[in-house]
């Protein structure tokens, strides 16, 4: 069990042998060897810093309308200027500034979605996997029902109930992504719960909560970390899709999907209004998928030699 | 096999009941009074309002309301659209073939492109071909469909003018709906021009919708092939002098296909979620666009019935895939 990254404290005391590298060091070696994952990480760091520094980086306010500069093309096109690096939209708003602020929207709602669905999913999965019985049946049946609906349709239904807004769309995506976390946690708990170290812990008098949260959970984290990373990309995609359908962030919020939807009618005259926000979505989602793949390879003991 | 079949079918019942509970709750959770919503802008007198409430059973206890809802559902009555006043089931049945046709063509694209890409990448592991295939696949997997659809329209319809922008067929043609599948109906009608028109309307939406499943199939085929190619019997097949083509496509592919088939079966949900966006982008008259419009028009009976029907279709397809899988792979059906 020295491979699992989260019981590092135990691992270090157990394996004082010089040949065994620290689990985090070993993990980093695997992760670094994957060039795609590294590229993903770099892009994510760039996007997250852009989100944090949006007010500094953005050259204009995202809502500021320049009436004298409607649908100005990006600077490398004819007629573009360095005043608006990526051009302006139909209301004369600077696209670069809106995309940078859009990163803020996507990263913050994405983090909210992943944190909430991870927390709820772990709680339900632990309960199902640890207590078994009727609780498990009830929880897993409920997850099956949610999985029987196509994710976007379920999200649309939830938004129809709650009303369209960014925060309601985020709640909808939390609900939609819940089954994956619950299933993963439960499966991991089921395999861990009967191992010797758990029995040992129980025999030495550990209580139920301690067994669940401190003994078992850290050893189930590897697949959950991978799922959370991939879940971030799904969250960004789903939020953009809902925004695009008019069921997520409402204008003038600079959310990428919403920006795209509002620009549709100008697609022929000013394609950049449509292509650039979409490119931002693609790059963000791609980066998280790349990193998720790298994490899976680095954390999955089955693939290790 | 019969035991496996019965076990699998028994699991469907609680799921279906859960779905009906969900759709039943859906309409009651939406804020606003259903009768006032139906009356719309004109408003309604209090007496008529009370009368209608009693008539629609809205004064009954929830449990009674639920059972009468189940009764209606089982007898095929899913209510009427508030907007068009037609039966939800009829509307669904008239739109469903369009969605199925689109989804099948998307799946066809996914398999025809994804499978060979995955095989090539596995056989030439570590080559530039492998890396570029995986790059394409990962990009496809990360693609926001609505944006991808826009790029396709912008390039092939607007700039190059090769394909129409939206719809299923040119208004010039009037084809009898025999099967509901435009490609087959136009062939049955024997009009070559109509068939070409239907096909050209179908190409872009099918590619847009098929891109994510294509990426999934390519990745799955590659990893599954890599696993199989390292098996002993592959070495044996090579050692006895079989051609590389035969080893790859007969010995390895057959065994590598099992997980790929499962992935394809599970793609139904992905396809449907994608169809919502693709149909909206291409004004494709299918179930996905219909549901989005139902939400926009606050046509809740349509949304309720539509969600129930879509969930039913997904459940039926998933069970069928499971059963077929049990048929292909005997190890599955003997598990507890």
Q: Rounded to an integer, what distance in angstroms lies between the CA atom of residue B110 and that of residue B97?
A: 19
B170 pLDDT exceeds 80?
no
Q: Which two tokens stand for residue A254?
A: 């600079």
| Residues on B contacting A at a C-beta cutoff of 8 Å | 11, 14-15, 18-19, 22, 26, 29-31, 138-139, 141-148, 150-151, 153-154, 158, 269-270, 272-274, 276-277, 280, 291-292, 295-296, 300, 303, 307, 310-311, 314-315, 318
Integer Cα distance of A112 and A206 in angstroms: 33
Q: A166, A105 in Cβ contact below 8 A? A: yes
Interchain CB distance below 8 Å, B295 and A285: no
Q: Which residue has the higher pLDDT, B156 or B83?
A: B156
What distance in Å separates the CA atoms of residue A146 and residue A241, rounded to the nearest whole number? 19
Residues B201-220 pLDDT 10s:
899 999 999 999 999 999 99
Say if the Cβ atoms of B142 and A275 lie within 8 Å.
no
Q: Please list every residue in chain A whose beta carbon sits closer than 8 Å to the beta carbon of residue B92.
A: none
pLDDT of residue A17: 52
Residue B103 has pLDDT above 70, yes or no: yes
> Which residues of chain B are within 8 Å of residue A110 when distances are taken between CB atoms?
none
Retrieve residue B8's tokens. Answer: 């699998």
Distance from CA of B175 to the nearest CA of A (A): 31
Q: Is A114 helix (H, G, I), strand (E, B) or coil?
A: helix
Q: Is B180 left (phi over 0), alpha (psi -120 to 50) or beta?
A: left
Assign B169 a pLDDT band (cuts: 50, 70, 90).
confident
Which residues does A192 contact at the CB level (< 8 Å), separation at least 6? A198, A216, A219, A220
Band the pLDDT of B322: cuts 50, 70, 90.
Answer: confident
Looking up tokens 């879509």 gives B310
* Per-range mean pLDDT, top range of A274-283, B17-26, B317-326: A274-283
Which of B32, B106, B131, B144 to mutate to probe the A interface, most A CBs <10 Å? B144
Which tokens belong to A258? 């919403």
Cα–Cα dist B250/B238, whole Å: 12
Question: In chain A, whose CA is at the least distance from the CA of B151?
Answer: A275
Distances (CA, A) of A295 to A233, B135, B251: 14, 17, 32
The predicted pLDDT at position A120 comes to: 96
Check if A149 contacts B (Cβ < 8 Å). Answer: yes
Closest Cβ–Cβ partner in B142, B147, B274 for A289: B142
**pLDDT class for B298, splitting at 50, 70, 90?**
confident
pLDDT of residue A10: 47
Of chain B, the percentage scoring pLDDT greater than 90 comes to 27
**Closest residue of B to A147, CA-based?**
B269
pTM: 0.86
Judge whether A151 is closer than 8 Å to chain B, CB to CB: yes
Mean pLDDT within B36-55: 73
Mean predicted confidence (pLDDT) in B293-322: 87
Asked whether the beta carbons of residue A148 and residue B30 sit closer than 8 angstroms, the reply is no
Positions of chain A with pLDDT under 50:
1-15, 304-305
Q: Residue A151's closest CA among A188, A127, A120, A117?
A: A117
Query: Residue B291: which of A153, A257, A290 has the nearest Cβ?
Result: A153
- Please give the pLDDT value at position A1: 40
Note the pLDDT of residue B334. Answer: 63
pLDDT of residue B189: 78
More confident residue, B322 or A159: A159
Complex ipTM value: 0.85
Is the CB of residue A245 less than 8 Å away from at least one CB of chain B? yes
For B142, other C-beta atoms within 10 Å of its C-beta total: 23
Token pair for A50: 């852009």
Please report where in the chains the tokens 């989260």 appear, as a residue.
A6
Check: CB of residue A121 under 8 Å from CB of residue A178: yes
Tell me which of A104-113, A207-216, B247-256, B326-335 is least confident: B326-335
Task: Count the Cβ atoms, other than its own, within 10 Å of residue B38.
Answer: 14
**Is residue B336 predicted with pLDDT exceeding 50?**
no
Contact check, Cβ <8 Å, B276/A160: no
**What gap in Å lies between CA B148 and CA A285, rounded to an integer?**
14
Residue B54 has pLDDT above 80, yes or no: no
């Amino acid at each position: 069990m020295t491979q699992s990254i989260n019981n590092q404290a135990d691992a270090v005391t157990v394996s004082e042998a010089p040949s065994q590298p620290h689990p985090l060091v070993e993990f980093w070696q695997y992760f670094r060897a994957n060039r795609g994952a590294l590229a993903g990480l770099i892009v994510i760091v760039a996007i997250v810093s852009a989100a944090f520094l949006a007010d500094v980086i953005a050259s204009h306010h995202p809502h500021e309308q320049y009436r004298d500069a409607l649908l100005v093309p990006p600077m490398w096109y004819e007629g573009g200027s360095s005043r608006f690096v990526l051009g302006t939209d139909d209301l004369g708003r600077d696209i670069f500034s809106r995309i940078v602020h859009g990163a803020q929207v996507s990263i913050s709602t994405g983090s909210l979605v992943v944190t909430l669905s991870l927390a709820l999913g772990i709680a339900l999965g632990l309960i199902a996997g640890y207590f078994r019985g009727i609780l498990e049946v009830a929880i897993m049946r409920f997850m099956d029902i949610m999985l029987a609906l196509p994710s976007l349709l379920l999200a649309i239904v939830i938004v129809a109930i709650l009303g369209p807004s960014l925060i309601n769309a985020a709640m909808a995506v939390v609900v939609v992504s819940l089954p994956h976390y619950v299933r993963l946690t439960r499966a991991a708990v089921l395999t861990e719960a009967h191992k010797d170290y758990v029995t040992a812990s129980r025999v030495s008098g550990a209580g139920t909560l301690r067994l669940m949260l401190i003994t078992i959970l850290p050893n189930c984290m590897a697949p959950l970390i991978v799922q959370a990373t991939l879940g971030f990309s799904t969250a960004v995609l789903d939020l953009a899709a809902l925004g695009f359908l008019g069921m997520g962030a409402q204008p003038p919020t600079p959310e990428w999907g919403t920006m795209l939807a509002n620009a549709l009618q100008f697609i022929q005259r000013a394609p950049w209004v449509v292509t650039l926000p979409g490119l931002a979505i693609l790059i963000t989602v791609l980066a998280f998928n790349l990193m998720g793949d790298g994490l899976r390879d680095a954390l999955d003991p089955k693939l290790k030699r | 096999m019969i035991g496996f079949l019965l076990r699998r079918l028994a699991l469907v019942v609680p799921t279906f009941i859960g779905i009906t509970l969900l759709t039943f709750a859906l309409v009651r959770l939406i804020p606003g009074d259903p009768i006032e919503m139906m009356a719309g802008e004109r408003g309604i007198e209090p007496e008529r309002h009370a009368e209608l409430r009693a008539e629609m059973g809205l004064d009954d206890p929830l449990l009674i309301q639920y059972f009468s809802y189940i009764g209606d559902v089982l007898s095929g009555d899913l209510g009427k659209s508030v907007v068009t006043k037609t039966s939800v089931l009829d509307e669904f049945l008239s739109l469903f073939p369009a969605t199925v046709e689109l989804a099948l063509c998307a799946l066809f694209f996914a398999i025809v492109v994804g499978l060979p890409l995955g095989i090539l990448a596995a056989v030439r592991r570590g080559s530039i071909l492998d890396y570029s295939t995986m790059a394409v696949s990962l990009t496809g997997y990360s693609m926001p469909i609505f944006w991808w659809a826009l790029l396709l329209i912008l390039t092939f319809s607007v700039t190059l003018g090769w394909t129409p922008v939206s719809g299923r067929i040119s208004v010039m043609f009037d084809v009898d709906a025999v099967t509901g599948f435009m490609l087959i109906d136009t062939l049955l009608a024997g009009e070559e021009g109509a068939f070409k028109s239907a096909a050209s309307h179908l190409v872009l939406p099918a590619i847009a919708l098929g891109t994510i499943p294509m990426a999934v199939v390519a990745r799955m085929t590659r990893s599954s092939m890599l696993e199989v190619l390292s098996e002993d019997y592959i070495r044996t097949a090579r050692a006895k002098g079989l051609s590389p083509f035969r080893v790859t496509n007969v010995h390895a592919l057959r065994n590598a296909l099992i997980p790929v088939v499962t992935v394809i079966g599970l793609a139904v949900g992905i396809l449907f979620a994608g169809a919502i966006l693709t149909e909206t982008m291409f004004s494709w008259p299918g179930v996905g666009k219909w549901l989005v419009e139902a939400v926009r028009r606050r046509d809740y009976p349509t949304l309720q019935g539509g969600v129930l029907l879509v969930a039913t279709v997904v459940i039926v397809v998933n069970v069928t895939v499971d059963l077929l899988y049990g048929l292909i792979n005997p190890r599955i059906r003997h598990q507890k």
